[in-house]
Amino acid sequence: MRFVLASPSAYKLSEEDFDRIMSQVPELDFMVTEDPADACARRM
């Protein structure tokens, strides 16, 4: 699955959280953006 997280810069996921998630599920296709429209356009 692909997971696209769109958050305002002040509320985005920390690098520590991102790294922890990727260490737990390295197969995850994980993308981060600040633009909700961009997030919705990133279909696999």
Burial string for 5-37 (b: 16+ CB within 10 Å, else e) reads: ebeeeeeeeeeeeeeeeeeeeeeeebeebeeee
Site mask, other proteins, residues 1-40, x = CB under 8 A? xxxxxxx---xxxx--x---x--xxxxx-x-----x--xx
> What is the nearest approach in angstroms of other proteins to the Cβ of residue 37?
10
| Rounded Cα gap, residues 5 and 7, in angstroms | 6
To other proteins, the closest distance from the beta carbon of 7 in angstroms equals: 5
Give the binding site for other proteins (CB under 8 A).
1-7, 11-14, 17, 21, 24-28, 30, 36, 39-40, 42-44
